Amino acid sequence: MTILSIDFDICMWQDIELYNNMVNSFRTIDEVTPKYPALKNVRFDANLYNRLTSLVMKLARKLPVDKIHFISTHEDIIKFVNNGKEDNKVINIDHHHDVCYTMAPIGTTASCANWVKYLYQNHMIQDYIHIGDSFSQMPLADDAIIVKEFLNIGDIGLDAFVEEVDELCICLSPAWVPSQYHGLFEAWATALSVMKNTKYKYR
């Protein structure tokens, strides 16, 4: 089974590194901005959003309603990957690789920063492909083996993945995306809810 994951924070790729180390699961960019007013002007890549919208719509036409998921934080993807098989493949479109960012061992629960390594260590995925951007960091040397392939989203077409994907998981990551852009994420959920005659929830 191949799961395509899209983290909405990749639309912030041009400026996300300006505040990346200031935010986390407990502190959002909206909370940091009053102290650093320049962050009010961080850029959202509308052209990339348009490309991703096209991909999401093509996948929505292909996939059944129960194979499309909206989540708020990325570790929630685990419940869709853990199907008792070891041949799962995850293609993750994301500014962050989410393998792990420290040498500390992973415990019994995953976080938004290490869910990929958690899946790998628990034999839930066989292959992991990271589609990042020009400013995406690479994993630590000891974890590099987990990433089968890194692709720069600016250099590739996305339609090639449509036929391969069996499941779609779309993540907001609100800590890294200013709230003024959350409505564009909600637009995906609304459009797919109408298309699939259901109600996609992620909060």
Q: How far apart are CA 135 and CA 95, in angstroms?
A: 8
Say what the pLDDT of residue 86 is: 64
Count of domains forming the chain: 1
Is the pLDDT reported for residue 54 higher than 80?
Answer: yes
Say what the pLDDT of residue 43 is: 98
Residue that is written with structure tokens 């003024």 in the block: 180
Say what the pLDDT of residue 5 is: 98
10 Å CB burial of residue 155 (0-12, 13-18, 19+) is exposed
With respect to residue 202, please indicate whether it lies within any of the assigned structural domains: no
Interacting residues of 14 by C-beta distance below 8 A, sequence separation 6+:
42, 43, 45, 135
100-151 pLDDT per residue, tens: 998 877 878 889 999 999 999 988 999 999 999 999 999 999 999 999 999 9
With respect to residue 111, please indicate whether it lies within any of the assigned structural domains: yes
With respect to residue 203, please indicate whether it lies within any of the assigned structural domains: no
Query: Can you count the helices (H) and strands (E) in the chain?
Result: 5, 6
With respect to residue 179, please indicate whether it lies within any of the assigned structural domains: yes
Contact yes or no for 185/193 (Cβ under 8 A)? no
Is the pLDDT reported for residue 198 higher than 80?
Answer: yes
With respect to residue 201, please indicate whether it lies within any of the assigned structural domains: no
pLDDT band at 171, cuts 50/70/90?
very high
Average pLDDT over residues 45-60: 98
With respect to residue 28, please indicate whether it lies within any of the assigned structural domains: yes
Say what the pLDDT of residue 51 is: 98
The fraction of the chain above a pLDDT of 90, given in percent, is 86
Is the pLDDT reported for residue 82 higher than 80?
Answer: no
Say what the pLDDT of residue 10 is: 98
Lowest-confidence pick of 11-15, 22-26, 154-158, 183-187: 22-26
What is the overall mean pLDDT for the chain?
94
Is the pLDDT reported for residue 84 higher than 60?
Answer: no
Is the pLDDT reported for residue 203 higher than 90?
Answer: no
Whole domain around residue 165: which residue ranges?
2-196
With respect to residue 141, please indicate whether it lies within any of the assigned structural domains: yes
With respect to residue 71, please indicate whether it lies within any of the assigned structural domains: yes
Which phi and psi (to 5°) does residue 75 adopt? -65, -15
Average pLDDT over residues 160-173: 96
